[in-house]
Structure 1
Amino acid sequence: MSDKGREERRPHGELVAEVLAVLWGAGKPMTARQVNATLDKGLARTTMATILTRLHEKGTVRRTPSGRGFAYEPVEDAAGLVAGRMRRELESEPRRDLVLRRFVTSLSENDEEILRRLLLEAEAEDEAE
């Protein structure tokens, strides 16, 4: 592959993010062909089908039969997807207390205040139940 070809190629994560953005924006299940047309990047049909199949295998999207293929929709919104990644990272670490401490001390004052408010709200909800 030439140097120019490498420069034009986007990172895989960027393409996946674009696919998810299309699905979130649609608000309804879409086929690989529909996602590909919406992106309008000139991708091969098989490339889009592979991306969506991998997202399905990871549990990021669900699929339902549609014609001879499938229609895909996200399982969670963008915030839910990020929260899930954060939770999985935390669960994989044996020193959860240390990770949480480092995370909290790295927050901006504004984010720290939001986190405090959310914890208080969650506590109040638990007490109300």
Structure 2
Amino acid sequence: MRRLGDLEAEIMDRFWRWHRGATVREVVDDINRHRDVAYTTVTTVTTILFHKGHLTRFREGRVWVYEAAATRETYAAALMEDGLSAAEDRPTALTHFVRGLTAAERAALQGALHAVDPRPGR
């Protein structure tokens, strides 16, 4: 999975935070509270995100309402999997990754491993 571009990430951030569908107009209005962006630019990028599978959409009257196709966490996991797949030696890559984690993150990782396979010693 390719990392999102700056505007793609900015648009997706709204859908992930809002946890609801929204129109391009709503996204544009929210972004424009911080910086200027053209409606047509957001329309184009939102359509691209739809075609890439990051957004779903449905018609509500004459406008499209978009929703995130997956959570931010699912997207982050896909990025991590892609990064890991770039390594020739996955166990070594995982070791380097884990070394960079905080104690709380390591504990969360141990909890996730236990949730996936709760058998002792696994």
Shorter-chain TM-score category?
A: 0.7 to 0.9
Q: Is the 8 A contact 1:61 1:73 kept in 2?
A: yes
SS at 2:117 equivalent: helix
How many Å separate the matches in 2 of 1:36 and 1:77?
21
**2:22 alignment partner AA:** M
TM-score (norm 1): 0.72
The question of 1:113 aligning with 2:110 is answered: no
What's the C-alpha RMSD, in Å, of the aligned pairs? 2.5
**2:27 alignment partner AA:** V
How many Å separate the matches in 1 of 2:111 and 2:19?
30
SS at 1:73 equivalent: strand
The percent identity for this pair of structures is 27
Equivalenced residue count is 115
**1:36 alignment partner AA:** V
Gaps of at least 5 residues in structure 1 are 1-11
* Greater relative CO (CA pairs within 8 A, separation 6+): 2
Q: Is the 8 A contact 1:31 1:69 kept in 2?
A: yes
Indicate how the Cα distance of structure 1 residues 14 and 93 shifts in structure 2: closer, same or farther if over 3 A, else same. same
How many Å separate the matches in 2 of 1:91 and 1:79?
18
How many Å separate the matches in 2 of 1:47 and 1:121?
42
Deviation of 1:103 after TM superposition, in Å, equals 0.9
The question of 1:93 aligning with 2:102 is answered: no
Residues 20-64 of structure 1: per-residue CA shift (max 9 Å, x gap): 222223332212122112222432121001111221222211122
Gaps of at least 5 residues in structure 2 are none
